[in-house]
Amino acid sequence: MADPTPQLEALRRSPLAHLTDALATGSGEAVALAEGPFLSMVSVRVGPGSAAADRIGRVLDLELPRRCGEVAAVGRHAALWLAPDEWLVVSTAAPVALADQLETALGTDRGQVVDVSANRTVLALTGERAREVLEKGCPADLHPRAFGPGSAVSTTLARIPVLLWQTGPAAYRVLPRSSFADYIARWLLDAMREYAGEQAR
């Protein structure tokens, strides 16, 4: 029997596919916005420092972060701290295979591994004005003294709950629930409009 995966992949539609042109048109040198669709996301709950946490870390080739706001990233995997015993693993690996590997690593120990890839999408906001755009609607302190590359927090943007992850000096990933993705993307495009004509320095 033929593998149906290629046909199913062709039918996938990201939460912001209808805004692809708008994201490109609204982006400029000072600030740009794009969707990073179909990243694998796996919710992991396990006792910090436990044998199961160590096994999960070995699968990901990283140590699960232990502090609020911390991100551990190696290769195609990243683990974002959400709570003392909870992480979101974001990866370019196939979601089902990754979740299966992490569930196997958890074994019979107390904890939980759930594929939540369909729960969120990713918006990449980049450029020298990116932080100023976010500060228009995010209550978190995003000044470099408090928040920098390799940090992630659960916060709100335009009153909508999101995960905000800074991946570089002028690069952020905004992870809204898929049902709020259209609203967040349109809000960001509107907030970016002030800088649309600026050139990167």
Of 157, 165, 166, 149, the closest CA to residue 184 belongs to 157
Alpha helix positions (H), 64-114: 95-106
Q: Which residues pair with 79 in a beta bridge?
A: 72, 89
Q: What is the mean pLDDT of residues 165-193?
A: 97
- Of 87, 117, 147, the residue at which a domain comes to its end is 117
Q: Give me the helices (H) in the chain, please.
A: 5-11, 20-26, 51-60, 95-106, 130-135, 181-192
For 50-78, the pLDDT digits (tens) are 999 999 999 999 999 999 999 999 999 99
Rounded distance between C-alpha atoms, residue 44 and residue 52, angstroms: 11
Confidence check: pLDDT of 183 > 80: yes
Q: What is the pTM of this model?
A: 0.91
Residue 201 lies in a domain: no
Asked if residue 164 belongs to a domain, the reply is: yes
User: Is 8 inside any structural domain?
Assistant: no
Dist. CA 143–CA 47, nearest whole Å? 32
Last residue of a domain, one of 94, 117, 140: 117
Indicate whether 51 and 111 sit together in one domain: yes
139-173: pLDDT as tens digits: 999 999 999 999 999 999 999 999 999 999 999 99
In this structure, the answer to whether residues 21 and 65 fall within a common structural domain is no
CB 133 within 8 A of CB 125: yes
CB-count exposure of residue 34 (10 Å: 0-12, 13-18, 19+): middle
Q: Residue 79 is encoded by which pair of tokens?
A: 């683990």
Number of domains in the chain: 2
> What CATH number has the domain bearing residue 154?
3.30.1360.120
Q: Are 157 and 176 in contact (CB under 8 A)?
A: yes
Query: In Å, what is the CA distance from 119 to each residue of 61, 94, 104, 169?
Result: 25, 15, 22, 27
Residue 22: give the domain boundaries.
15-37+121-195
Q: Which of 54, 87, 117 is the last residue of a domain?
A: 117
